[in-house]
């Protein structure tokens, strides 16, 4: 059990035991189906944990030159790459860190096919099944006019020569039942191409490590599609790797009242350190706190930047808060560290690990250089 008194504030802290639990679940799907599950770096790129991730997952999926290089240098494997657009001046370097590459348009394929094939990469097209159950447009790759993926009407009868794979990403925090519906649309629109491909990457957004996820159905779907079309199946979740593996530890710095609202100012920023809470938006769980309860001490948490919307709330506690009290935001490992900014010059939270031996290991602290490095 993690001892939060031992964690400095502010700090992202991952519990190794929880990460291993997720990896074991993902690996059980690999073992049952023969599919490969890759770690999507855009969601989870805490490379100090890669030695453990490597025990279970074969490699990572990257969406940029930097992510591909991180995979190559820190994971020790070539990445699968899927980016909305590739840049001419980066392409040769990209191929050094990559084994599989997915093109988002026929134009990008035409432009880079020679270099990709010369470098021996296995090439794929990203398809857009025009079906998604994602309700928030910000996270919906299949919204009308989407720039992500090729729609079926743009393809000839045959896949272009040299294309070995197909890739779709149309899910976000979704169930196996949603994958089943999505696969129906993929088969309806792209069935004849599935017969021509060697591999199918079903993207991310599979919430496999969530408690109520229907793993049996996922296994059945993977087996069916891979048998029917004689395909190797690949999944590339990010969130499911880091899902509920740790916390953002913060502490109360000031408390005051405005318009009857008790405000507790923290040493973190919602905008800079947990931006998805504002983008999605969603209200994260805080340990030892509940949604507002009449009669209980209740606070709105304020972030450190001057952005008016840099707050999250309201939460009730059994006892009034005091300056210095730790406030622990749950499930803050995926899509946080990869998205932090130093807006307003705020410092980045440290990064640490609560080990399987019940010890705290501080991995990294950030200082002035992390802010200055992005400016000139």
Measured CA to CA, the distance from residue 319 to residue 329 in angstroms comes to: 18
Binding track, positions 82-101, relative to ligand PLP; x by CB under 6 A: x-------------------
* Contact indicator for 98, 81 with CB cutoff of 8 Å: yes
Query: Which DSSP symbol is given to 290?
Result: B
Give the count of residues interacting with ligand PLP (CB under 6 A): 14
* Contact indicator for 337, 49 with CB cutoff of 8 Å: no
**Residue 342 φ then ψ, to 5°:** -110, 30
Of 10, 165, 237, 302, the one binding ligand PLP by CB under 6 A: 237
Q: How far is the CB of 82 from ligand PLP (least distance, A)?
A: 5
Measured CA to CA, the distance from residue 237 to residue 38 in angstroms comes to: 7
Residue 141 or 349 having the CB closest to ligand PLP: 141
Residues 263-322 that bind ligand PLP (CB under 6 A): none
Residue 189 binds ligand PLP (CB under 6 A): no
Residue 236 binds ligand PLP (CB under 6 A): yes
Measured CA to CA, the distance from residue 321 to residue 327 in angstroms comes to: 10
Residue 43 or 303 having the CB closest to ligand PLP: 43
Q: How far is the CB of 169 from ligand PLP (least distance, A)?
A: 4
Query: Which DSSP symbol is given to 145?
Result: T
Q: What is the dihedral of CA 222, 223, 225, 230, to 10 degrees?
A: 130
Q: How far is the CB of 203 from ligand PLP (least distance, A)?
A: 4
Structure tokens at 143: 């919204």
DSSP H or E segment with residue 235: strand 232-235
Stretch that binds ligand PLP, among 71-79, 156-164, 234-242, 263-271 (CB under 6 A): 234-242
Neighbours of 202 (CB within 10 A): 26
Residue 203 binds ligand PLP (CB under 6 A): yes
Of 16, 67, 239, 331, the one binding ligand PLP by CB under 6 A: 239
Residue 41 or 351 having the CB closest to ligand PLP: 41
Q: How far is the CB of 225 from ligand PLP (least distance, A)?
A: 17
Q: How far is the CB of 30 from ligand PLP (least distance, A)?
A: 16
Residue 165 binds ligand PLP (CB under 6 A): no
Stretch that binds ligand PLP, among 12-20, 48-56, 230-238, 324-332 (CB under 6 A): 230-238
Residue 205 binds ligand PLP (CB under 6 A): yes
Structure tokens at 107: 């134009």
Measured CA to CA, the distance from residue 99 to residue 92 in angstroms comes to: 13
Residue 10 or 204 having the CB closest to ligand PLP: 204
Classify the phi-psi angles of 130: left when phi > 0, otherwise alpha if psi is within -120 to 50, otherwise beta. Answer: left
* Contact indicator for 173, 239 with CB cutoff of 8 Å: yes
Residues 11-40 that bind ligand PLP (CB under 6 A): 40
Interface with ligand PLP by CB under 6 A: which residues?
40, 42-43, 82, 169, 172, 203-205, 236-240
């Amino acid at each position: 059990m993690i001892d939060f008194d031992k964690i400095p504030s502010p700090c992202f802290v991952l519990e190794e035991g929880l990460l291993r639990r997720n990896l074991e679940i993902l690996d059980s799907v690999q073992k049952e189906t023969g599919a490969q599950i890759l770690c999507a770096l855009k969601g989870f790129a805490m490379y100090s944990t890669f030695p453990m991730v490597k025990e279970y997952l074969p490699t990572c999926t990257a969406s940029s030159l930097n992510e591909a290089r991180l995979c190559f240098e820190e994971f020790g494997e070539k990445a699968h790459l899927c980016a909305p657009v590739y840049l001419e001046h980066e392409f040769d370097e990209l191929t050094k860190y990559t084994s599989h590459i997915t093109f988002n348009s026929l134009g990008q394929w035409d432009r880079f096919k020679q270099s990709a094939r010369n470098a021996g990469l296995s090439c794929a097209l990203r398809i857009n099944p025009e079906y998604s159950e994602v309700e928030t447009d910000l996270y919906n790759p299949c919204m009308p006019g989407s720039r992500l993926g090729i729609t079926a009407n743009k393809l000839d009868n045959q896949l272009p020569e040299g294309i070995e794979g197909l890739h779709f990403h149309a899910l976000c925090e979704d169930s196996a039942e949603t994958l089943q519906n999505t696969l129906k649309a993929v088969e309806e629109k792209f069935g004849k191409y599935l017969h021509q491909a060697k591999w199918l990457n079903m993207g991310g957004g599979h919430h496999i490590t969530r408690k109520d996820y229907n793993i049996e159905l996922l296994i059945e779907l993977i087996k069916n599609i891979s048998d029917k079309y004689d395909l190797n199946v690949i999944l590339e979740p990010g969130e499911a790797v880091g899902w509920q593996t740790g916390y953002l530890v913060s502490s109360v710095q000031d408390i005051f009242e405005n318009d009857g609202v008790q405000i507790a100012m923290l040493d973190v920023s919602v905008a800079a350190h947990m931006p998805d809470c504002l983008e999605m938006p969603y209200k994260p769980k805080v340990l030892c706190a509940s949604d507002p309860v009449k009669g209980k001490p209740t606070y709105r948490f304020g972030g450190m930047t001057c952005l008016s919307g840099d707050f999250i709330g309201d939460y009730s506690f059994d006892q009034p808060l005091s300056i210095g009290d730790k406030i622990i935001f749950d499930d803050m490992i995926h899509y946080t560290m990869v998205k932090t900014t130093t807006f307003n010059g705020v410092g980045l939270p440290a990064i640490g690990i609560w080990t399987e031996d019940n010890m705290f290991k501080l991995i990294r602290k950030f200082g002035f250089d992390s802010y200055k490095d992005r400016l000139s």
